[in-house]
């Protein structure tokens, strides 16, 4: 069940639990799809079913720059996995653009 977790010591909102839930469900999708998966199907499934879990409550977020960095980095790592990209992370960004997917913080800002 998604939710917004508040950490009074560091920040009004804590994205750690959202990241944990995102990667748990993301790994489930990737294991079901297997090694010989279709990249566009992976993109569709993650954007439709897992990205909302990660961004749940993003309208209320007041994130520090380190939290934004963690969220963006996690999205790039996940994107590299579902797009089956190896090597440098910067090669993922043009592929996400090609798949009609924006950077994570841009998606959160639009919400």
Walk along the chain (111 residues) and give the pLDDT tens digit of each residue.
456 656 566 556 667 777 888 888 888 888 888 777 777 888 888 888 888 878 877 777 777 778 788 888 888 878 877 777 765 556 777 777 777 877 777 777 777
Q: For residue 33, what are the contacts with CB-CB under 8 A and spacing of at least 6?
A: 41, 42, 45
Alpha carbon separation from 66 to 15, 77, 83, 97 (Å, rounded): 11, 16, 25, 24
pTM of this prediction? 0.68
Tokens of 5: 């977790």
Per DSSP, the chain holds a count of helices (H) and strands (E) of 6, 0
SS3 state of residue 102? coil
């Amino acid at each position: 069940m998604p939710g917004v977790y508040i950490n009074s010591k560091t920040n009004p909102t804590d994205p750690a639990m959202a990241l944990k839930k995102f990667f748990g469900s993301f790994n489930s999708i990737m294991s079901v799809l297997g090694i010989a998966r279709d990249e566009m199907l992976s993109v569709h499934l993650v954007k439709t079913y897992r990205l909302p879990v990660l961004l749940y409550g993003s309208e209320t977020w007041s994130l520090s720059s380190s939290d934004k960095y963690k969220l963006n980095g996690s999205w790039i790592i996940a994107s590299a996995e579902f797009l089956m990209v190896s090597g440098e992370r910067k090669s993922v960004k043009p592929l996400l653009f090609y798949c009609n997917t924006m950077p994570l913080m841009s998606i959160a800002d639009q919400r």
